[in-house]
Structure 1
């Protein structure tokens, strides 16, 4: 007798008698996908510009991504929001970033619907939709879509990946992470990296390994069950971390500088047909130094920084190639719909001169050329948290203007590849139709023959705002169906409509022309009126793809129409109120799970506490008290916060009590007890007493006197003359009983777990905590 099934929730179709022999069974049918349904793979690169991939004319070797372009389609008119979290929310929901509450990154959320950093449940994710269609769903890599205040072990977990339709997750929740010492989350809990950099560990191959494992686990049990894999690398976001041999492959390749790079890439793009005929190279950016004007030592440093970036990208491509090879070897590649996208243009967050330790930048601590040159041989390795200067970001967005965070096309027009041999007949062709990140979800649903769900887990769903571009797959001449798209990022605005593009830069077309840097300008009503009257530019991008000729004066009527259209879209998608990235905006109080307190208690074997949720000790008196029981020479870390780029650590070693303050990776202030820690139960304490005021402009926090106590007796004291004034660490949070990631001090090797009994560590804080909104803004933006 054949098995009888019925849809769950429907009436039972079998028969029920008084006994089993008198009855006939029927089973709730398992959730199955449509026969032959394709797998779906999103590969999301970070901070990768239009001119970075080999298939887009770059000299950087990306053979595996190039292979996808040759076997599929390359789009030259795909757009993003110009920033990380906002774009990723579009990619996964098919709704605009303000509709998702993601008008900015989660760390800089505002108390308005378009900016609260919380994707509403009525905006279902593709993972939630496809899980209901019988797919396995996996997220691997960068997430950055959970409100920053909800990323600690206290949760809530409802907006972590597993709460939004992904069945498995392996990666990191924030905007960036150390590639050698990552802040890893496996499903819903923090884990330690499986190896060290000394053992050859790097995050990218680890992510690829886990992605392959997820697919293999499913296919060996249910080979016909399709999967949706959201694979988001930490690359190419800073820190630019890559083994030295990869960077060395580009030795000398960029010695002629960013101006020459742009010219070469632009010519290649024209030859390859990546750009429409007649495209012109945009102007030299006023904020970028002329390469030939730089002294030789600066050229040497900046060229090496780009060599490291290039090696990082080729290394990333290589490991993406392993994932593609696995799909090919298992027979899955041809029926996998692959979409590759960068979340925004290349990043200018390294500033005009680049950085070998971004923590210095966010603390206003000067970086001398001599110090940076001394780091040359180690750039890309675990000793530094490096980022290239913004001249390379400008070059990476060739042929467009500007970069990430801004809505000229350099920030919003990004590489986009589609590969699906079973569904696309065309191979190696360029597509010029207009598209946006919100179009990816409806295109996938269209390809799978699925309708958007009316309801997910009892929540009525909002309409999808994107438009499928599946009709372009096999028709290069198909008309664009995405006619209008607004843009807004940090009060810079733009609107596209049928080949026209209006842009209103804020505070100006460049920092030099505006006379104000990022975050220095205030947008009040008077300034907004002035911008609306005189600040908009107009481009006929169907003829001038790189926005080189402002035609606003001769097309005043069209410009007024476009401005009115922007406001209509802004009202439709909850873009208002506009908020300039000023100190007041970034200093806003945001909801926390618990109220700020004076006493924090930490216990061993608990998850690391993220930076935004850990106790703040900068520029204020504080004590750290550990209750321990030492036996048989026990030692190890009691409490630490930060890593090799800066932080503090409180530990026992060789029988003595120690405290080390690591000042931005430059200097360690070490205090050691004059006597041994006794056997048995003890109270071990560190006390910091400020002896001066912080000098925020000079990059110096409050100097102070550090003291060590054992059972109430003073056993050591010493001056700590330099402290971080603003930011303690970039991602490496607070841990109790061990040093979780890179070692805060060179006096031990992480994790240096405490081998005695550690009951708890209490941190008491008092006095006014010196806050600097500009630095908090910069630190948050480092996580994009």
Structure 2
């Protein structure tokens, strides 16, 4: 509207007021219409953006209507989701899949849900876990192996790409509460320190809550665990009955109860992944007693018993054949009486560990049922992240760390620990014959990605509100990368295209939802490659070709180009017992070409079988926190440092200089330590006297003690270690001994010989600490509680030479 400049100012003001009033009324009407209209939620871009709100032009809040508070909500009727995965358990482990150890919780879920007998892992823990949580192949998410042997090659770096957001992050950004309890072996070892980065830790990659351990395993009696990003100091707190499996279950129950009490409208996602049944096989005596004598018949008889059970239960076809054992596994009848006694005990403890895990999982399921949420909770229970572990070698081990340090334990030595096998005084693993047994009806085990014994996992899905069938069997071929798409479809959620500003690589798995109510539905996962440290193969529409390049207990058998491939028509040969490579060479060649095509597509190449060499970060080409540093100065209070994040004193001379204050004879405790009961070293004071103890794999211990009490006040305590392993060509010998010398204010106060040293690894979970010794104690002179230094530590400098 144009205003006539000849009009009086009063008239012009009246007209302007009327026009403005009309504009405001129109805007308010439009605003009301917008607020009443339901704006569609774009779940393809996460986080979900709040809807645009027009500017408010009303002056007085009393006259305005506030817009609704924006909040992200999960789709209506989206189920709770619980993913449970046992560690290192093969296809024949649970009683629902023929196992001889009763697993009533697993069986209960199977009877009221679906069993999948063609479900697969990657054959190794970290790759399986990262694949499950992302819906992508393990090389796609740079987890071609475990991060302890990561390299700089694509597919093997151990670092999750931002373009592959995890399932819990997708669910969290869509209105779920999310929590992770138990094992997390997906964080790069050089990122586990106060310096971070913490972006790939559980609570910064999708989980609201994390309570568990970072790494491949932990001592169940004295675990190294985190609550979020905060280390838990001495979780047992003096409780003689403490066990981490029980602790993590209680934590999970408490979290679910709290979440449902406070936000019952929100669905929850719980990832429950215990350390059981991975070594160390730690379990209370009450569970072990239940299984005494149950394995005296030996692995050949029990393997056949499991096989017969599997046929009776229908989880393998009636015409299936029990595949041959590996040639290295002795017949039980050929073992000595001592070997049979020891190996039977190992199996009893392993079975007890599985029994305990199933019992604790039962507590979790019961708690969900008591909340009235069981019917609308989709439970995915995977019995193993790979086949049963044969990493115990032919005899098993009292201390699993001997495997990594090239020490072969004898049967006679292990029998000395027969009565306390599985207790806090052991760190045990079992003989490989049992791994083959519990992987029935297949030949191979964990690490062997080219055989279903290493990759096939008995799996149950239980969801009364979403699955009509009860006690159903599903035979469609699936893989862990199919879990994430299945959960998203069940929740009514799309795969996002952008997460936190980063474009996403599409998930490579397929949803299993189509099979829930149709047992006869045609397979949708038709091609899948497998590769772990040179063991490689490919599934292609009912056929499988692969090569066993390396046994779990031995170095590579051939050069990669010399490997002999096998061919199986797995649609008709369930257990891979009939090698058809010679009969169908054209089919074998076709599958080999499919493998190479998939390997290029998913960053599998180059294949790297350097198992021992890759333990050396420099040779492997992965980052380390210390880099090329030869000196590290630390201060009181620093701790919880895994050995990959601490200066490496192995296979070389070194020096420790500690500037401390003492009150004389009354001063006790640890100045600095690394490792624990099953391998490590400690510099400490005992009744005022300096002591250096070197614990060799829990098998032998060497100590040097000062003849004098440290003077009152400030002192400089020095430990010099002169390594004996320098050879004539300048290359260090591995695992040699050395001479340890203690000095106080520059003067020698004690010296002694350390006859041998650990050349490869201290521990999978024990840490380095200043001012105390956490987890288990290096020396019996103190406990964790009494190890705290009672003087003052100004600083400690460690220098390697």
Same fold per TM (> 0.5)? yes
Within the alignment, does 1:600 sit opposite 2:632 as a pair? yes
Aligned position for 1:707: 741
Q: Is the 8 A contact 2:222 2:776 kept in 1?
A: yes
> Over residues 504-539 of structure 1, what are the superposed CA-to-partner deviations in whole Å (9 max), with x where a residue is unaligned?
2215xx69xxxxx6334563xxx52x44xxx22211
Aligned position for 1:377: 419
Aligned position for 1:720: 754
Within the alignment, does 1:470 sit opposite 2:513 as a pair? yes
Residue 369 of structure 1 and its aligned partner are, at CA, apart by 2.0
Which residues of 2 match residues 23-62 of structure 1 at below 5 A? 23-62=64-103
Cα distance, 1:56–1:756 mapped onto 2, change above 3 Å: same
Residue 283 of structure 1 and its aligned partner are, at CA, apart by 1.0
Greater shift after overlay, 618-627 or 479-488?
Answer: 618-627
Distance 1:221 1:483 in 2: 43
SS at match of 1:441: helix
Distance 1:709 1:399 in 2: 61
SS at match of 1:433: coil
Aligned position for 1:135: 176
SS at match of 2:249: helix
> Over residues 531-550 of structure 1, what are the superposed CA-to-partner deviations in whole Å (9 max), with x where a residue is unaligned?
4xxx2221111111001111
Q: Is the 8 A contact 1:153 1:189 kept in 2?
A: no
Distance 1:258 1:311 in 2: 16
Within the alignment, does 1:483 sit opposite 2:512 as a pair? no
The gaps in structure 1 that reach 5 residues or longer are 512-516, 767-784
Aligned position for 1:65: 106
Distance 2:237 2:734 in 1: 32
Residue 594 of structure 1 and its aligned partner are, at CA, apart by 4.6
| Equivalent of 1:109 in 140, 143, 150 | 150
Within the alignment, does 1:494 sit opposite 2:537 as a pair? yes
Distance 2:567 2:707 in 1: 71
SS at match of 1:600: strand
| Equivalent of 1:352 in 384, 391, 394 | 394
Aligned position for 1:611: 643
The aligned length equals 749
Residue 664 of structure 1 and its aligned partner are, at CA, apart by 1.6
> Over residues 110-150 of structure 1, what are the superposed CA-to-partner deviations in whole Å (9 max), with x where a residue is unaligned?
22211111121111110111012100111111111111211
Residue 631 of structure 1 and its aligned partner are, at CA, apart by 3.5
Within the alignment, does 1:579 sit opposite 2:622 as a pair? no
Q: Is the 8 A contact 1:39 1:335 kept in 2?
A: yes
Q: Is the 8 A contact 1:180 1:197 kept in 2?
A: no
| Equivalent of 2:567 in 514, 535, 538 | 538
SS at match of 1:69: helix
Which residues of 2 match residues 623-638 of structure 1 at below 5 A? 623-631=655-663, 633-638=666-671
SS at match of 2:312: helix
RMSD, aligned CA:
2.1
Residue 694 of structure 1 and its aligned partner are, at CA, apart by 8.7
Question: Which has the higher Rg, Structure 1 or Structure 2?
Answer: 2
Within the alignment, does 1:746 sit opposite 2:780 as a pair? yes
Cα distance, 1:33–1:582 mapped onto 2, change above 3 Å: closer
| Equivalent of 2:380 in 335, 339, 346 | 339
Q: Is the 8 A contact 2:626 2:646 kept in 1?
A: no
Aligned position for 2:308: 267
Residue 225 of structure 1 and its aligned partner are, at CA, apart by 0.8
Residue 731 of structure 1 and its aligned partner are, at CA, apart by 2.0
Distance 2:218 2:759 in 1: 22
SS at match of 2:707: strand
Residue 409 of structure 1 and its aligned partner are, at CA, apart by 0.6
The gaps in structure 2 that reach 5 residues or longer are 1-31, 42-48
Within the alignment, does 1:518 sit opposite 2:554 as a pair? yes
Cα distance, 1:472–1:750 mapped onto 2, change above 3 Å: same
SS at match of 1:430: strand
Which residues of 2 match residues 268-347 of structure 1 at below 5 A? 268-341=309-382, 342-347=384-389
Q: Is the 8 A contact 1:522 1:582 kept in 2?
A: no
Within the alignment, does 1:690 sit opposite 2:731 as a pair? no
| Equivalent of 1:656 in 684, 689, 694 | 689
Cα distance, 1:60–1:582 mapped onto 2, change above 3 Å: closer
SS at match of 1:641: strand
Q: Is the 8 A contact 2:481 2:509 kept in 1?
A: yes
Distance 1:709 1:17 in 2: 80
Cα distance, 1:440–1:67 mapped onto 2, change above 3 Å: same
Residue 250 of structure 1 and its aligned partner are, at CA, apart by 0.9
Q: Is the 8 A contact 2:78 2:490 kept in 1?
A: no
Distance 2:734 2:327 in 1: 31
Q: Is the 8 A contact 1:141 1:231 kept in 2?
A: yes
TM-score normalised by length of structure 1:
0.92
SS at match of 2:310: helix
